[in-house]
Amino acid sequence: MNLDGMKTMQNYILFLFFLVLNINIEAQNSIQQALSNFVKDPVNRSAAISFQVINLENGKEIAAYQPNLAITSASTTKLFSTAAAFELLGAQHRPSTRIYIDGKINEDGILKGNLFIRGGGDVSLGSKYFSDQGTELDFLTSWVDSLKKLGIKFIEGSLIADGSEFGYSGVPDGWDWNDIGNYYGAPARGLNFYDNLVKVNFKTFSPGSKSAIVSVYPEVPGLHYKNNVYAASVSGDNSYLYGAPFSLDRSAEGKLPANQSSFEVKGSMPDPEFQLALELFKALAKAGIQVEDGYKGVRTNSTFSNRDYTKMTLVMEHFGKTVEEVAYWTNLKSVNLFAEGLLNQIGFHFTGDGRTTSSLTQIEKFLQKNIDTKGLVLQDGSGLSRSNAISATHFTSLLTYMSKSTNAEAFKRTLPIAGVSGTLRNLCKGQAGEGKIIAKSGTINGVKSYAGYVESSTGKKLAFAITVNNFTCSSTQIVDRMEKVLNAMAQY
């Protein structure tokens, strides 16, 4: 090649270099411009915003705005509890519920002693996410069949449910009174079943008239709702259920559509431990097995506080769903109970203490080893607590760590796809971000958040987080504005 040819080739290579550089700068500028427009929007004049997007291939920041500002992030918090469960417990870890007896079964089939249900924190037991509708309590039939095979025909003692290894505290710090009586505010316990909820059926009449409570399922002895729900010209459920954990005195407020023969509203179950004892008691009675001294929960019966399982006989063990299976629904449908259950499993696995405080200590140790946790505050596993404080950098650091984990693909499979599935099914629908973003969303009053991964139209792999607090428009309107930033990343 002569000198002129070499110069031509050099000029061509330089042209390509600057062309690619210019394209990258323009793409980066498009994200920064979309972000700038979002920040300057009048609805965000008093808002707290934290944003960061990084290139997973080289770890470099592409665009950011107050990335270290730790603020309330709602359900994107679930990324921390699910990631920690994958890493600390393993994708195939399964909790179990065990049944013990503390006496002998004689030749007449009489159990000379008590029957204990020992909770292991399984949140999948009788859950609608793992059962066909109407079959959620079929596990009880399976338990009864197992006991019948042991030859038990009569129990001379009591049936005792024990979830004490996970404590009996109320709810995690920062949970709102307006949430805890509703189904999505049901805390995880040592014994959980039927998603720890009750279904309250209302009958409504003409607009302006008070509704009537027709039934509650499962039937909870002594449960009473002070009913202030009225019929109105509304299209959906505008009612709320209120009540403290373990309390049977509750209230119902709000409005429901008029002239409905049956309208179902879901609330939190007051005491799943006691309720499970009752449901098994009824299932045993239906099978002809009587329990002489009835059913009890350890929380309300100090008589059984000195029980020793090492001196009892384990007669049955029921294994729950795996971490991977539970985490899938946790992130896809944003199931608060499952997130709290995964969190509590971590503390229980490492210390035998499944309380939220113990479990958060274990997660914090894990995070401190793997990401910069300065400014990070976690009070629960679900994001229902407004006391959580998480920055965009905390999220992208976690997402970067998980992208290199042996659990990376399993973790990513739990995340909804923009415009396609779960809580993101309507996000970026028909736009550039559809199918290119997988992320966890977060929504509580005045808070909107997204955090996850992007595979852009040019093949780049990104991790991002965007959270805004205290915007002055509707949730739908803030999402419309956030989509412009998300679409810009998808086109990077």
pLDDT of 211 higher than 90:
yes
Spell out the alpha helix ranges (H) of 60-216: 78-89, 138-149, 177-180
Give me the phi and psi of 145, to 5 degrees please. -60, -40
Residue 468: name the closest of 74, 159, 28 by CA. 74
Question: pLDDT at position 9, please?
Answer: 59
Would you say residue 221 has pLDDT above 80? yes
pLDDT given for residue 306 in this prediction: 81
- SS3 percent helix, strand, coil of the chain, rounded to 5, is 40, 25, 35
Give residue 19's pLDDT: 45
Task: Tokens 């996970």: give the residue.
Answer: 166
What's the chain's length in residues?
492
Lowest mean pLDDT among 68-77, 159-168, 300-309: 300-309
**Cα separation of the two ends of the chain:** 38
194 closest CA partner among 142, 250, 237, 138: 138
Instruction: Compute, in degrees rounded to 10, the torsion defined by CA atoms 434, 435, 439, 441.
Output: 40
Q: Vertex 196, ends 120 and 94: CA angle to 5°?
A: 30
Number of alpha carbons in the 13 Å side-chain half-sphere of residue 314: 10
Q: Residue type for 363, please?
A: I
Q: How confident is the model at residue 8 (pLDDT cuts 50, 70, 90)?
A: low
pLDDT at 23: 45
User: Residues 389-402: pLDDT tens digits?
Assistant: 999 999 999 999 99
Give the residue-averaged pLDDT of 358-372.
97
Domains and CATH numbers, the chain: 31-90+325-490 (3.40.710.10), 96-319 (3.50.80.20)
Residue whose entry in the numeric block shows the structure tokens 């469960």:
85
Amino acid identity of residue 480, one-letter, is D
- Whole-model pTM: value is 0.93
